Amino acid sequence: MTTSSKRRWPLFRFLADRLVHQFAAPTNRLLGLAAAGVVPLGIGYALGAGMAAFWGWNALLLALSIADLAMLPRRKDVQVRRTLPERADLQQPFTVGLEVSSSDLRPLHVELADDLPITFAGALHWRKSFDEVPGTPVHRIHLKQGKASVTYEAKGMERGSYALRYVWMRYWGGLGLWKRQTRIECLGGVRIYPDMSRVRGILGSMQSTLLLDGRKLARKPRSGSEFESIRDYQQGDDVRHIHWQATARTGKLMTSVRQPERGKTVTILLDCGRMMGAELEGQTKLDRTLEAALTLAAVALKQGDQVSLIAFSGSVLKAVPAGKGLPHLHDLTEAVFDLQHEPAEVNYGAGFAQVMQSQKKRSLLVLFSDMESYLHDRELPAYALRMRRSHSLLLLSLNDPLVHEWSRKRPDDTRTAFIRSAANHFEADRRSYVRRMSAQGVPVLDVPAGQLALSAVNAYLELKARDAL
């Protein structure tokens, strides 16, 4: 910025503030009165006193305008307070409240427009009555005795932290000829997290009955090396587990119930490459995998295991060390709630290198990624075989419903037949990759978006039931 521009800058800011943020706009009533002046003006010209009628009518409008503006409260006498939750789930509505107060107790009509981020649902609707704040919903209230409030629902469509700084306001009263508008600083913010409804369902269920999406998770009878409880002997129980001391004390056969060893480690690997930014059923693939990953973390922590998390793209973006207990779930959520995909190809070597550096004990590695990345990365099979020597490895990816739909579409013309052929080729490649990796001892789950969390949790519980973590 040049020296002359710096000198003019305060003037420009002053003019912008006065003409945009501290402006008075005429109402329809004033415009109607101005238009109604045609009648006395015509009569005046008919009587030979046209100029006197013209200036007299304008003087009357000026006097009424001055009186109306004098009756309006000063801008500093009107205050706005915003109330909103500190956090909300992705694409879930939450309530925002706006409370207006004035030291002047005279009735006022007020229009409010909040400083909604453009990524919030409803922020793109135009309102002709507040055209200087395009895309912002307007709320109208009537101030009585100096106080009034309004609530509305907002919905965050993208994860992250959002700051709400201003509230734009117009108010009028008295004669109703002029609207005074102002921009009031009203600092606030909200953090949009992944959809945590599944996680809350897991945390709200009992230890012995895990619920996900209203369904009881399939849990096979467990066996292991860690003692859990004693119960009556039932036909088919292993006689090696008979608890002889309890049998002698009660006079009937009692057996020991054993469970898989607790305190194992589950390491969640999150791909944040460019392919994870693709939209799938209204959400990005990264949004879907985050919800599934946090659900898996909640189940593992509730089962007494430790959970660590590594998010990577071309390099490692986030690394949360292993921890146990449900408070650790808060640490995991805070670390990834604002995680975004990067416009770069994923580097699986960076993620696995971080695992080898930080995770010395055997653990279950759960990689959430995209099948297209699996198919085109030639180094992943080598990394997977190497990690399989010291860890259990599970690969997960999301099915593309569009490809699935086209692969079953009736070929009514040449174009549809070509698209169906390409879709069948893509699906065949995916199935071939799953079989090839499974033959090498690396299971791959390629599932629809709605089943990702359920598939990941069931795979974990099956491995835990076999004491294979």
Write out pLDDT tens, residues 271-313.
Answer: 999 999 988 878 899 999 999 999 999 999 988 899 999 999 9
Rounded-to-integer distance, Cα 214 and Cα 194, Å: 19
Q: For residues 359, 364, 365 and 370, what is the CA-based torsion angle, rounded to 10 degrees?
A: -170
What are the backbone dihedrals phi and psi of residue 61, each rounded to the nearest 5 degrees, phi first? -65, -40
Same domain, 248 and 297: no
Tell the residue number behind the tokens 């045609």, with chain if given: 38
Cα–Cα distance list, 47 to 36, 39, 55, 329, 341 (Å): 18, 13, 15, 86, 77
Same domain, 332 and 419: yes
Task: Flag whether 218 is in a domain.
Answer: no
Task: Flag whether 333 is in a domain.
Answer: yes
Same domain, 333 and 253: no
pLDDT in tens, 164-174: 998 988 999 88
Same domain, 255 and 270: no
Domain boundary among 150, 172, 193: 193
Q: Total structural domains in the chain?
A: 3
Tell the residue number behind the tokens 């999406």, with chain if given: 213
Same domain, 276 and 420: yes
Nearest C-alpha neighbor of 205 from the set 298, 292, 308, 331: 298
Instruction: Work out the pLDDT band at 86, boundaries 50, 70, 90.
Output: very high
Same domain, 245 and 336: no
Task: Flag whether 1 is in a domain.
Answer: no
CATH number at residue 136: 2.60.40.10
Across the range 318-334, mean pLDDT stands at 91
| The pLDDT of residue 132 is above 50 | no
Cα–Cα distance list, 335 to 275, 310, 314 (Å): 21, 10, 18
Across the range 204-218, mean pLDDT stands at 52
- E strands within 70-159? 78-83, 87-89, 93-102, 108-114, 120-121, 138-143, 147-156
Cα–Cα distance list, 408 to 302, 325, 412 (Å): 41, 46, 12
Domain boundary among 234, 259, 284: 259
User: Lowest mean pLDDT: which of 9-13, 307-311, 325-329, 445-449?
Assistant: 9-13
- Whether the CB-CB separation of 229 and 257 falls below 8 Å is answered with yes
Across the range 38-48, mean pLDDT stands at 85
CATH number at residue 409: 3.40.50.410
Rounded-to-integer distance, Cα 399 and Cα 341, Å: 19
What are the backbone dihedrals phi and psi of residue 272, each rounded to the nearest 5 degrees, phi first? -115, 30
Q: Which amino acid is at 459?
A: A
Taking the CA of residue 465 as centre, how many other CA atoms within 13 Å lie in the half-sphere pointing to its CB? 12
Same domain, 144 and 271: no
Tokens of 425: 């080729």
Q: Which residue has the higher pLDDT, 124 or 391?
A: 391
What are the backbone dihedrals phi and psi of residue 178, each rounded to the nearest 5 degrees, phi first? -130, 145
- Whether the CB-CB separation of 122 and 137 falls below 8 Å is answered with yes
Task: Flag whether 203 is in a domain.
Answer: no
Nearest C-alpha neighbor of 291 from the set 451, 78, 55: 451
Task: Flag whether 207 is in a domain.
Answer: no
Instruction: Return the DSSP state at 255.
Output: E
Same domain, 320 and 460: yes
Q: Which residue has the higher pLDDT, 220 or 76?
A: 76
Nearest C-alpha neighbor of 383 from the set 432, 356, 348, 358: 348
Same domain, 120 and 235: no
The two beta strands, 226-232 and 254-259, are antiparallel
206: burial class by Cβ within 10 Å (0-12, 13-18, 19+)?
exposed
Instruction: Return the DSSP state at 242.
Output: B
- Whether the CB-CB separation of 166 and 115 falls below 8 Å is answered with yes
Same domain, 333 and 459: yes
Task: Flag whether 217 is in a domain.
Answer: no
| The pLDDT of residue 65 is above 50 | yes
Same domain, 391 and 326: yes
Across the range 431-453, mean pLDDT stands at 90
Task: Flag whether 212 is in a domain.
Answer: no
What are the backbone dihedrals phi and psi of residue 360, each rounded to the nearest 5 degrees, phi first? -85, -30
**What DSSP assignment string belongs to 29-66?**
HHHHHHHHTHHHHHHHHHTT-HHHHHHHHHHHHHHHHH
Domain boundary among 213, 239, 259: 259
Instruction: Work out the pLDDT band at 463, boundaries 50, 70, 90.
Output: confident
Across the range 447-455, mean pLDDT stands at 88
Q: Which domain holds residue 189?
A: 12-193
What b/e readout covers 390-415, taking b as 16+ CB neighbours within 10 angstroms? ebbbbbbbbbbeebeebbeeeeeeee
- Whether the CB-CB separation of 280 and 290 falls below 8 Å is answered with no
Q: Residue 396's pLDDT is what?
A: 94
Task: Flag whether 358 is in a domain.
Answer: yes
Q: Residue 214's pLDDT is what?
A: 52
Q: Which amino acid is at 46?
A: A
Q: Which amino acid is at 256?
A: S
Same domain, 436 and 302: yes
